[in-house]
Amino acid sequence: QAVREAGKTGQVKVVGLSTPNLMRDYLKDGSAQMATLWSPKKLGYLTVVLAKNLLEGKLPYDGQDIYNVGTIRVNGDTVIMGEPIDFTAENVDQYDF
Protein backbone atom coordinates (compact mmCIF):
# COMPACT_ATOMS: atom_id res chain seq x y z
CA GLN A 1 0.00 0.00 0.00
CA ALA A 2 2.90 2.34 0.79
CA VAL A 3 4.38 1.83 -2.69
CA ARG A 4 1.02 2.55 -4.29
CA GLU A 5 0.39 5.65 -2.16
CA ALA A 6 3.89 6.98 -2.85
CA GLY A 7 3.38 6.59 -6.59
CA LYS A 8 6.35 4.24 -6.80
CA THR A 9 4.59 1.33 -8.55
CA GLY A 10 7.07 -0.21 -10.99
CA GLN A 11 10.01 1.48 -9.24
CA VAL A 12 10.06 -0.46 -5.97
CA LYS A 13 9.92 -4.26 -5.80
CA VAL A 14 7.69 -5.72 -3.07
CA VAL A 15 7.71 -9.37 -2.02
CA GLY A 16 6.71 -10.95 1.26
CA LEU A 17 4.50 -13.30 3.22
CA SER A 18 0.76 -12.83 2.89
CA THR A 19 -2.47 -14.44 1.81
CA PRO A 20 -3.60 -14.12 -1.80
CA ASN A 21 -6.81 -12.33 -0.84
CA LEU A 22 -4.93 -9.59 1.03
CA MET A 23 -2.44 -9.09 -1.80
CA ARG A 24 -4.64 -9.60 -4.88
CA ASP A 25 -5.16 -5.91 -5.73
CA TYR A 26 -1.50 -5.04 -5.16
CA LEU A 27 -0.30 -7.93 -7.31
CA LYS A 28 -2.72 -7.06 -10.08
CA ASP A 29 -1.80 -3.36 -10.20
CA GLY A 30 1.94 -4.08 -10.01
CA SER A 31 2.58 -2.39 -6.67
CA ALA A 32 3.67 -5.82 -5.36
CA GLN A 33 5.31 -8.57 -7.37
CA MET A 34 4.98 -11.69 -5.22
CA ALA A 35 3.49 -12.94 -1.98
CA THR A 36 4.48 -16.30 -0.55
CA LEU A 37 2.70 -18.58 1.88
CA TRP A 38 2.41 -22.22 2.74
CA SER A 39 -0.87 -23.94 1.95
CA PRO A 40 -3.06 -23.49 5.05
CA LYS A 41 -4.96 -26.65 4.11
CA LYS A 42 -1.79 -28.74 4.00
CA LEU A 43 -0.37 -27.08 7.11
CA GLY A 44 -3.56 -27.80 9.07
CA TYR A 45 -3.62 -31.39 7.89
CA LEU A 46 0.05 -31.87 8.77
CA THR A 47 -0.51 -30.42 12.25
CA VAL A 48 -3.33 -32.88 12.97
CA VAL A 49 -1.37 -35.86 11.61
CA LEU A 50 1.74 -34.97 13.65
CA ALA A 51 -0.35 -34.46 16.82
CA LYS A 52 -2.05 -37.83 16.33
CA ASN A 53 1.30 -39.52 15.70
CA LEU A 54 2.82 -37.92 18.80
CA LEU A 55 -0.09 -39.18 20.92
CA GLU A 56 0.72 -42.65 19.57
CA GLY A 57 4.42 -42.22 20.45
CA LYS A 58 5.55 -41.76 16.83
CA LEU A 59 8.02 -38.95 16.19
CA PRO A 60 8.28 -37.30 12.78
CA TYR A 61 11.40 -38.11 10.79
CA ASP A 62 13.26 -36.54 7.91
CA GLY A 63 11.96 -37.73 4.56
CA GLN A 64 8.65 -38.97 6.00
CA ASP A 65 5.83 -39.01 3.48
CA ILE A 66 2.61 -37.56 4.89
CA TYR A 67 -0.57 -38.35 2.95
CA ASN A 68 -2.15 -35.17 1.48
CA VAL A 69 0.98 -33.17 2.36
CA GLY A 70 4.03 -34.76 0.78
CA THR A 71 7.51 -35.38 2.04
CA ILE A 72 8.51 -33.46 5.15
CA ARG A 73 11.92 -32.48 6.41
CA VAL A 74 12.88 -32.59 10.07
CA ASN A 75 15.73 -30.49 11.45
CA GLY A 76 16.07 -30.98 15.21
CA ASP A 77 12.68 -30.10 16.66
CA THR A 78 11.55 -28.26 13.53
CA VAL A 79 9.28 -29.86 10.93
CA ILE A 80 9.46 -28.31 7.46
CA MET A 81 6.35 -29.01 5.42
CA GLY A 82 7.74 -28.28 2.00
CA GLU A 83 7.90 -25.55 -0.54
CA PRO A 84 5.61 -22.54 -0.22
CA ILE A 85 3.19 -21.24 -2.85
CA ASP A 86 4.25 -18.06 -4.67
CA PHE A 87 1.30 -15.84 -5.55
CA THR A 88 1.75 -13.53 -8.52
CA ALA A 89 -0.52 -11.41 -10.70
CA GLU A 90 -0.73 -14.37 -13.08
CA ASN A 91 -1.91 -17.00 -10.57
CA VAL A 92 -3.49 -15.15 -7.63
CA ASP A 93 -7.05 -15.68 -8.89
CA GLN A 94 -6.60 -19.44 -8.51
CA TYR A 95 -6.65 -19.03 -4.71
CA ASP A 96 -9.31 -17.82 -2.30
CA PHE A 97 -8.06 -17.51 1.26
DSSP string, 21-83: HHHHHHHHHTS--EEEE--HHHHHHHHHHHHHHHHTTPPP-TT-EETTTEE-EEETTEEE--P
Domains of the chain: which residue ranges?
A: 1-38+84-97, 40-81
Distance CA 8, CA 31 (A): 8
pTM metric for this prediction: 0.69
Distance CA 48, CA 67 (A): 12
User: What's the DSSP call for residue 94?
Assistant: G
> Which tens digits make up the pLDDT trace of 30-58?
999 999 998 888 999 999 999 999 999 99
